[in-house]
Every structure is written in C-alpha cells, then in structure tokens.
Amino acid sequence: RGLFIIRVFLLFLMGETLPRVPGGVPVRTLRVKMVLLGSSGVGKSSLAVRFSKDQFRDSSPTVGCAYLTRVLYLEDITLRFEIWDTAGQEKYHSVTPLYYRGAHAALVVYDICKKETFVRAQVWLRELEKQYIPGSTVVWLIGNKEDLSQNREVSLQEGQNLAQEKGLSFTETSALSGDRVNELLLAVGKSSSHDAPVQTGRLSDNLSLSNGVPQGSDSGPTFGP
Amino acid sequence: MSQRTERRGIHVDQSDLLCKKGCGYYGNAAWQGLCSKCWREEYQRVRQKQIQDDWALAEKLQREEEAAAYASSHSAHSQSTAAQHASVGHFSKFEEKKTNEKTRKVTTVKKFFSPSSRTTSKKEIQEVKAPSPSISRHASFDTDQVSKEFVDFLKNLHKPGRETYKQCRAFLLNMSSKKVCCPPETITVSISYQNKETFLFRQDLGADELSECVQDFYQNLADRLISHFKGSSESVEQVMDQVEKYIMTRLYKSVFCPETTDDEKKDLATQDRIRALHWVTIQMLCVSMEEDIPEVSENVVKAITDIIEMDSKRVPRDKLACITRCSKHIFSAIRITKNEPASADDFLPALIYIVLKANPPRLQSNIQYITRFCNPSRLMTGEDGYYFTNLCCAVAFIEKLNAQSLNLSPEEFERFMSGQTSPQFSSSDSDWPCSESGLGTTVTNPVLVQLNHNLELLTGLCTRQEAVMEAAQSLQADLLTWSDSVQQEVHNILEKYPLEIISKVSAIDANTDNDNLPSPIKPQVFAD
Ligand SMILES: Nc1nc2c(ncn2[C@@H]2O[C@H](COP(=O)(O)OP(=O)(O)O)[C@@H](O)[C@H]2O)c(=O)[nH]1
Ligand SMILES: [Mg+2]
C-alpha cells in the first residue's frame, strides 16, 4: 500500500508541461492538495474560504465549503490548490488519517485565544507523525485568529517553539482580516513545487518533516509582528 | 363479437396492420412496422454486424501484435498464439453469472477427484474454448455497447487511439492468459468446473496483485499518452477515463468482491452492524438537517437513492459519481436547513446518517473495488476524491461507533443495541408520539407520514380501480343487452312485416316473355 501511495503521489507531483503560453515559457500545472486539521471552532472553514476566494466566510454563496479550490498563476507554474476541510469534532478524530492520504500539505490549526486547541493541536501532530510517509506531506502549524491578539492565551513564542521542536513550518494568520493568508497559500504552493523535481527523480527519503520550508527562509511565511 | 366490431368499426386496411416482412403476424409501429419476432431478428442482424466489425478490427490489431511477437521470438510464438487464441473465448466468458456459494463449495471438493493429466486437460480446453464470439458476447449487451463507444471514441484520436486500443486489448489478453498459463492441477479444476474462468482467475492472482496490475497499466498508458499529447493533461485524463470504463466493464464480474478476499464477509458484517444501529436518531448524531422541511426530506431521499445506486454501476468512476451526487444532495439539505453553506463539520455527520438510513448494498466491496481499480488521481484529489474519502470516514466511524460517539451513557447504548428499549419510546414526549396513541393524527415521524400518504394514495387507487371495473362490467352488460335488443328489434320488425315471397306473375310486362304466355291471352300488337 505504501508503495502505491508513493506512486500516486509521484503522479501528481510530476506536473505536466502545458502548451506554451503567449510569453513563450512552458508552464507547468501542479495540483496541491492541502488538508485542514484542528479542533472545532479554530477557524478551519473560515481559512478555507479565505484561501479559495479571499473573503470571510459569511458572504459565501456556495452550497458547501468543505471542498474548495483556488488557482494561482505564477510566472513559471500554475498552482491548482484543493482545499480539504475536515470535521473537527473530537469523535471524528480517529478517522481523519484517511483525509491526509496523498496530501501535499497538512495544516494543523489552533486558536491563539484558546489554550486547549493548542494542546489538541499537539495530539493531531503526534497522530500525523504516526501516519506519516516520509517525503509526501509538508506539515504546517497555524495559529489562527491573530486579530484577537489582545485575548491571546497562546503566545507567539509557544507556537514557534513547538514548530521548531517538531521541525514544522509555522505562521499566525487571521481568517477574519485575511492577514498572511495569501502568503501562507503561496508558501504552501512553493514548498510543494520545490519538492517536485526531487520527487520525479527518485524515491527519496531525505524529505522528512523538517524539509518543509525552513523557518525564516525567503520562501517561508512571515512571523508575527 | 370482436369480428362484428371490426366490421362495423373505422375502416383500416388489413395489410397496414400486418408485419412488413409479410410473415402474417401483426406488426407494431414501435418495431418499425415489424412483428416482434421479425424485429428481433432484424435488430440482432444489425447488432451482430456491428460486433463483427469491432471484432474484425480487434483481430487485425491482434495479428499485428502477433507478427511483432513472432519477430521477437520465434520459439515462443506457437505457444503464445494458442494461449491468446484460447483466452479470447475465455475472456468473453468473464461476464458469465457468478455461481452461488453452494456450487463453489461443491467444485472445490470435486477438484480432488478430477483427473490430472495435462494432455487431456489441454484437449478439453480446446473444445470448451471457443463458443463463437458472437454467441458469448451476445450475453452482455452493455459490454458490447461500451466497446463500441470506446472504439468510436478512439477513432477520433487516430494514431494514439489505435495505439491505446492495442494496449488495452493486450492488457486484457494478458490478464486472461494469466489464467491459462497456470499449473496443471488448476487446469484440471477447470474441466470439472463450469465457471472455470472466474475461478482460475481468482486463484491465480490475489486482489492486491490484480489491483497492482491494473494500476501499473493505467500508469504506463498515461505516461505514453502524455508524450503523445505533448503534455496536455486534460486530453490524457479524457482518454484515461474511457480506458478505465472499457477495461473495468470487462473485468468487473471477475474482480468485484473476489473470493481471495474477505470483502463479502466484511459486507455482511457492515450490513449487520448498520441494521443493529437502526435506532440511531438524527439528534444523536447532531446532524443539522430538519427533515420536517419538505425540500430537505426530498434531498435526503435523493441522497439515499444515490448512495444505494452506487452498487449497480460497474465502472469505478460511475460509482464515484453516485457518491458525489449523494453528497451534493446532503449539502443542499444542510444549506436549506441552516441557511448557510454546509461545512465539513456538518457534512460528515450527515453522511453518516445517510449511510445508516440507506444501508447501501455491498458497501465494503464497493469501497474496496473503487480503491483498487479507480484511476488514482480521482481518489486522493479532486472533488470526487473528497466525497469518497468522507464516505470511507463514515464507514470507519460506523464500525467504531460507541456510546461516547452518540453522547449516550454506556448503559443506554447497551440497552438500545440489545433492543430492550428504543429511543423513540424512552424519550416519548410531545415530539414523538407513540403509534398506539389512539386517534393520533399528529404523527411527526416523516417516514410514517410518507407511509400514511402512500397508503392513502393506494386506497385512492383501489377505489378508482373498482370504479373502472364496475364501469367496465356495466359496459359489458350494456353491450350484451344492446346486441340482444338489436336482435329483438330485428325480430319484431320481421314479425310485423313478414317476409312474403311475391310471385313474379303479378307484373305483366308487355315487352318481355311474350312467348311464354299461353296463346289465348297473347297480347296483340296493333299498329296505330
Ligand atoms: N476574530 C476571528 N474570528 C474567526 C477567525 N476565523 C474564524 N473565526 C470565527 O470562529 C468561528 C469558527 O470558525 P469556523 O471557520 O467555523 O471554524 P472551524 O470549526 O474550525 O471550521 C466562527 O464564528 C468564525 O467567524 C479569525 O481569524 N478571527
Ligand atoms: Mg468547519
């Protein structure tokens, strides 16, 4: 089964060269599957809507916002994001590993105003580590509702420390204001596309959790104020 | 009587009603003026021709292939041709009906007693081998239809199309020849066993290996197509969808719920599990759907229908489409209830509820089949993939479901599971009246409402049918008395004006028969 998943993964990351665009540069299209994990109420769905439409959820006219897409056209690559929202209720926790099969990025979200969601996030992370297939999924830790900084229960430092310890990429966002949401999306896309050449070449095991976008690097997201 | 009516009725030329072939039976406009028998013959002839054309194309491609094989290795040639030849016949038999459990057991025992000489078995196989393609293929119209569509689709692609077709045929032959090239004792089984292809096929390859074969094939073909289409992923996906349809329609019967797996056991377990959970209410699962709203319950019913329909599809992608349709209905139901877009938090519980209500047939087999044989890009990404994953989650949740997941105490859960109490009665307040509450006209359970409604419709239909019957009988009586009365009338008239034979003598015509009259009264003709 593992082999199978890797093969599937290969299939996606290879991307495909499309006919030339007017500029004359061949553009690759890349599918990026990202899964949102975290407790109920931390703002996963709000983030998903932000990712796909760059607006806060209330004005969304769609029937459902569990599966959303967003296409970003960059110079040399077209990124097609698929955003998979998950049920956050604790009773569904045990079935969530099914969601992140073949995901390029897993975003573990917590609410900076609720300590218990941060504790819960660590459970998610341990779970992810257990199911983890080296080289397949880049894991992110996201502190959401950054606009409510005055009620903060989890400090920026705590989040950064956890990320460092586990070797994850980290950022704080606000789905409400849209702060750093687009940057995050770009960074997720870049970390997925950067891995692509390695993936096409061979089955490499040098991509581990720590090989996400390293903290503070150019392509990484920005950190808090 | 009918004869009379016919003579009396509007004039239709008899010949217009007869079969155009002139066989003497009545024809029908729906059958282009032919009778049912002639129509069937005609239709079969056309279809047969189509099949033969396809077959000819396939043969031609096969010959090309064989020629290539011959060139590469002369010695292996005769063997492989024989194998390919045999497998054509074998393959078409894939579609044969699965025999039931009993037969399987019997034959498993049988195999110990059957002779195990290799030469006989080969000869036997030669004999069993080739029911003419048209006959065996005739059995499955669907398969023919799919092949035809596939060939039509590929025709437009020219060279890559031909290439693809060749690859698919080769793959299918390869899959079926796997059964032929198996150890002697397995071949022997085939003789004593009517449904041998399926049997051998399964014994030869486990489900995971089969899946691997198919997936490898998909990937190789996709790789080739990418270079053919210069990287246009959409065209590749289109072709791959058709390929999946073609291949899986053919393999379905032999790779769906194969005996080498315990899929069937799991199906039964899940089915029993869902049955045992019949008491779970929409409130326990915290589903945000108000079934009292007609539009919502309409969507719920549609969702249930769609998920049940999944089992009837053969192509993995068609099955996925059923799941997606089901999910869309659930989203609509939630959206109508909550008046805002449904999120994943609402969707998963609702899907669990729908699965519990529907108890879809062979759920585990279907999920396994899709997982093994669907184009992988459809499973782990894309909208279909998302809903499929949710379905897998729902099933996993139902398997693990316990008191905690329904917010019940363990004792309550036990009581419900054992059937000692059911939540409807234990929590019988105004919102769920017991059925024996006398003239209870306020039944709130939507199922009961539906049931009552249907019963009313049925009684309505019954009375109408009775009325129709009565009217028909009185019409019959009327007709009888009418013919009697006509007879009576005729009789009366005859009596009133009895038929008198008036002798010809009464009239004397001066111009005729003069010669016959006796001479004394012979008229004299006088000139004026
Ligand atoms: N202030 C603030 N509120 C947010 C933010 N993101 C989400 N919310 C609110 O948090 C609540 C839960 O959000 P939702 O997206 O449903 O969380 P989910 O259960 O994780 O999907 C909603 O009332 C949102 O309006 C944010 O960035 N800032
Ligand atoms: Mg949500």
Give the per-residue pLDDT at B62: 61
Which tokens in the block code for residue A119? Answer: 């504790």
Measure CB to CB from residue B341 to each of A44, A64, A101 and give the nearest one: A64
pLDDT computed for residue A149 by the predictor: 93
**Mean pLDDT value of segment B213-231:** 85
- Measured in Å, residue B63 CA sits from the centre of ligand 2 at 58
Q: Are B482 and B474 in contact (CB under 8 A)?
A: no
B303 or B516, greater pLDDT: B303
User: CA-CA distance, B303 to B324, in Å (whole number)?
Assistant: 10
pLDDT at residue A195, as a whole number: 54
Min Cα distance A11 → chain B (Å) is: 8
Q: Is A213 inside any structural domain?
A: no
- Taking the alpha carbons at both ends of chain B, their separation in whole angstroms is 64
Q: Check pLDDT > 60 for residue B358.
A: yes
Judge residue A63's burial from the number of C-beta atoms within 10 Å of its C-beta, 0-12 exposed, 13-18 middle, 19 or more buried.
middle
Look at residue A98 and tell me if it is in a domain.
yes
A114, A42 contact by CB (below 8 A): yes
| DSSP run (H or E) holding B77 | helix B75-92
Strand A28-37 relative to strand A16-17, pairing: antiparallel
pLDDT(B20) > 50: yes
**How high is the pLDDT of residue A8?**
39
What residue has token string 């000139």?
B527
Closest partner residue to B343 (CB to CB) among A29, A65, A91 is: A65
Of A25-29, A45-49, A73-77, A196-200, which range is least confident?
A196-200
- Percent pLDDT > 90 in chain A is 42
Could you identify the residue written with the tokens 């009379």?
B4
pLDDT (mean) for B414-429: 69
CATH code for position A151: 3.40.50.300
The residues of B whose Cβ lies within 8 A of any Cβ of A are 212, 215, 219, 222, 226, 230-233, 236, 328, 331-332, 334-335, 341-345, 347-349, 376-377, 379-383, 386-387, 389-390, 392-393, 396-397, 400, 404-405
Q: Check if A45 has its Cβ closer than 6 Å to any atom of ligand 1.
A: yes
For position B191, what pLDDT does the model report? 35
Mean pLDDT of chain B: 74
Asked if A38 and A124 touch (Cβ cutoff 8 Å), the reply is yes
pLDDT for position B173: 84
Is A22 contained in some domain? no
Q: Is position A109 within any domain?
A: yes
Where in the sequence is the domain holding A90, given as residue range(s)? Answer: 29-193
The pLDDT of residue B258 is: 84
Fill in the amino acid letter for A177: S
Amino acid at B286: C
Residue B228 has pLDDT above 70, yes or no: yes
Q: Which residues contact B466 (CB under 8 A, 6 or more apart)?
A: none
The identity of residue B503, as a single letter, is S
Averaged over A70-86, what is the pLDDT?
A: 89
pLDDT in tens, B93-102: 433 433 334 3
What pLDDT, on a 0 to 100 scale, did the predictor assign at position B114? 40
Instruction: Tell which of A67, A80, A84, A137 to mutate to test the B interface (max B CBs under 10 Å).
Output: A67
| DSSP summary character for residue A180 | T
A63 has a pLDDT exceeding 60 = yes
Cα B203 from chain centre: 28
Segment B43-52 mean pLDDT: 68
Q: Pick the more confident residue, B272 or B379.
A: B272
Q: How far apart are CA B351 and CA B356, in angstroms?
A: 9
In this prediction, residue B364 carries a pLDDT of: 95
Reported ipTM: the value is: 0.78
Q: Please tell me if residue A21 touches chain B, with a CB cutoff of 8 Å.
A: no
User: What is the pLDDT, as a whole number, of residue B331?
Assistant: 94
pLDDT above 80 (res B474): yes
User: How far is the C-alpha of B300 from the C-alpha of B293, rounded, in Å?
Assistant: 11
Tens digits of residue pLDDT in B286-334: 998 998 899 999 999 999 999 999 999 999 999 999 999 999 999 999 9
What pairs with residue A81 in β-bridges?
A: A32, A70
Confidence (pTM): 0.64
Q: Within a domain: residue A171?
A: yes
Please give the tally of structural domains in chain A: 1
Which of B222, B377, B393 has the CB atom closest to A98's CB atom? B393
Beta bridge partner(s), residue A32? A81
Note whether A184 and A173 are within 8 A (CB).
yes
Q: Which residues contact B367 (CB under 8 A, 6 or more apart)?
A: B391, B392, B395
Radius of gyration of chain B (CA): 37
Residue A87 included in any domain: yes
Angle at B453 (CA atoms; ends B452, B459), nearest 5 degrees: 85
- Residue B525: φ, ψ to 5°: -105, 120
Out of A207-221, B128-142, B251-265, B298-312, least confident range: A207-221
Could you tell me if A8 lies within 8 Å of chain B, comparing CB atoms?
Answer: yes
B334: nearest Cα among A117, A33, A56, A45: A45
Residue A167 lies in a domain: yes
DSSP-derived secondary structure letter, B311: G
Indicate the pLDDT class of residue B448, thresholds 50, 70 and 90: confident
Which residues sit opposite A30 in a β-bridge? Answer: A79
Has residue A198 been placed in a domain? no
Question: Environment class of residue B506 by beta-carbon count within 10 Å: exposed (0-12), middle (13-18) or buried (19+)?
Answer: exposed
DSSP designation for A52: H
